[in-house]
Amino acid sequence: MNAYTQVVFDDWVYGTASVYTAAALNELLSRCNSMTVHAIVDQATASATLTVTKETASDERGFATASTFFSAQALTAGATNSFVASAGNIAAEYARLNVTLGGPSPMAKVKLIVTLRTELG
Number of domains in the chain: 1
Of the candidates 77, 78, 59, 7, which has an alpha carbon nearest to the alpha carbon of residue 37?
7
Q: CB within 8 A of 24, min separation 6: which ones?
A: none
CATH of the domain at 57: 2.60.120.660
Q: Which domain holds residue 95?
A: 2-118
Please state, in angstroms and rounded to a whole number, the distance separating the CA atoms of residues 18 and 14: 10
Single-letter code of the amino acid located at 44: A
Query: Looking at the predicted structure, is the pLDDT value of residue 90 above 80?
Result: no
**pLDDT (tens digit, 9 = 90+) per residue, 21-55?**
999 999 999 988 899 999 999 999 999 999 999 99
**pLDDT (tens digit, 9 = 90+) per residue, 112-121?**
999 998 876 5
**pTM strictly above 0.85:** yes
Please report which helix (H) or strand (E) contains residue 28, including its range: helix 26-30
